[in-house]
Amino acid sequence: MGIVGNMHKAHPFADRWNHNTRWYPRIGEIVSGHQVVLDVGCGDGTLAGHLASLGHQVIGVDRDSTILPPDAPNTHFMLGDAVSLPFENDSFDAVTAVMMLHHTHQELALVEMRRVLKPGGVMVICGTARDRAPSEMLRSLADVPENLISRVGTTAWEPGTVKLDATQSWRQTRATIFEMLPGARWERIPGWRYLAVWQRPDTDQRC
Ligand SMILES: C[S@@+](CC[C@H](N)C(=O)[O-])C[C@H]1O[C@@H](n2cnc3c(N)ncnc32)[C@H](O)[C@@H]1O
């Protein structure tokens, strides 16, 4: 086993590796200190379970009733649509969404996710977009060798969730996030993904 393999052995999702699970530990770090988390488009609840194992209380919502897992310690799963979340304003300390946003009306979902986040809370979005500009295609090409390297020492795993190709470009998606979440940080991360993090200002009465 080489250095890369050993590195991945230490990753909590080395035995359930995909381009979403690889980022769960990073998401866990970002929401650290934020007790009650809503995971939107939670799928089979793997991220929710990870966050619960870190001590969070997690509610997972998904619009696909067939994928929702049973409740588990510190996790509750329910049917819900990102564009009309069944929660009061200012309900959650953190809101996460992994590979959900491109499945839905992005602006409406962001308005809702923002609405249910408490002032001072943090939102983390991990998603993908479509290569439209040559620069976007070039950037995505760089993910090809990285993908091969990242898999060394891991076991590939795919949950049975609905998959969909993105239609909006990287540039459009980033612009939408900046427009809906002023002050958000956005970065392109390996695995044909972006990571966006937004902290709702403490003084923000209502967006
Ligand atoms: C590619 S899967 C990702 C699942 C999970 N977040 C993960 O990290 O593997 C996308 C999920 O988002 C859900 N989804 C898509 N649009 C949604 C919406 N508008 N409201 C709630 N869930 C939605 C789908 O049903 C699916 O389970």
pLDDT in tens, 30-84: 999 999 999 999 999 999 999 999 999 999 999 999 999 999 999 999 999 999 9
Which residue, by CA, sits nearest to atom 13 of ligand 1?
A: 41
Domain count, the chain: 1
64 within domain boundaries: yes
Q: pLDDT category, 6, cuts 50, 70, 90?
A: very low
47 CB near ligand 1 (under 6 Å): yes
Q: Is the CB of 38 under 6 A from ligand 1?
A: no
pLDDT for res 10: 85
* Protein residue with its CA nearest to atom 12 in ligand 1: 41
* DSSP β-bridge partners for residue 76: 59
Residue 65: other Cβ atoms inside 10 A: 9
Q: What is the per-residue pLDDT for 195?
A: 98
Q: How far is CA 206 from CA 92, 112, 118, 180, 200, in A?
A: 14, 12, 10, 13, 10
Measured from the Cα of 98, ligand 1's closest atom is 6
* Percent of the chain whose predicted confidence (pLDDT) is above 70: 94
Yes or no: say if 85 and 113 are a contact pair by the CB < 8 Å rule.
yes
The residue whose C-alpha atom lies closest to atom 23 belonging to ligand 1 is 41
**Residue 95 forms part of a structural domain:** yes
End-to-end CA distance of the chain: 51
pLDDT for 140 equals 96
Residue found under tokens 């819900």: 80
Task: Please check whether residue 15 lies inside any domain of the structure.
Answer: no
Helix (H, G, I), strand (E, B) or coil at 156: strand
User: Given a cut of 90, is residue 7 above it in pLDDT?
Assistant: no
Task: Look at residue 16 and tell me if it is in a domain.
Answer: no
Compute the mean pLDDT over every residue in the chain, rounded to the nearest whole number.
Answer: 94
The tens digit of pLDDT for each residue in 177-191 reads: 999 999 999 999 999
| CA 155 – ligand 1 centroid, Å | 22
Query: pLDDT at position 8, please?
Result: 62
Report residue 203's pLDDT band, with 50, 70 and 90 as the boundaries. Answer: confident
Residue from 193, 198, 199 nearest 98 by CA: 193
Q: Is residue 4 over pLDDT 60?
A: no
CA separation for the pair 103, 14 (Å, rounded): 26
In a domain, 40, yes or no: yes
Residue 10 lies in a domain: no
Mean pLDDT of 72-97: 98
Tracing tokens 């001590």 back to the chain, one arrives at: 55
Residue 124 lies in a domain: yes
Facing residues of 187 across strands? 195
101 phi/psi in degrees, rounded to 5: -60, -40
Residue 3 has pLDDT above 90, yes or no: no
2 within domain boundaries: no
pLDDT in tens, 122-135: 999 999 999 999 99
Query: 185-189 and 193-199 as β-strands: parallel, antiparallel, unpaired?
Result: antiparallel
Mutation choice for ligand 1 from 42, 62, 66, 111, CB with most ligand atoms inside 8 A:
62
Ligand 1 neighbour 67 (Cβ under 6 A) = yes
How much distance in Å is there from the Cα of 78 to the middle of ligand 1? Answer: 12
Which residues constitute the domain of residue 101?
A: 21-199
- Whichever domain contains 69, its CATH number is 3.40.50.150
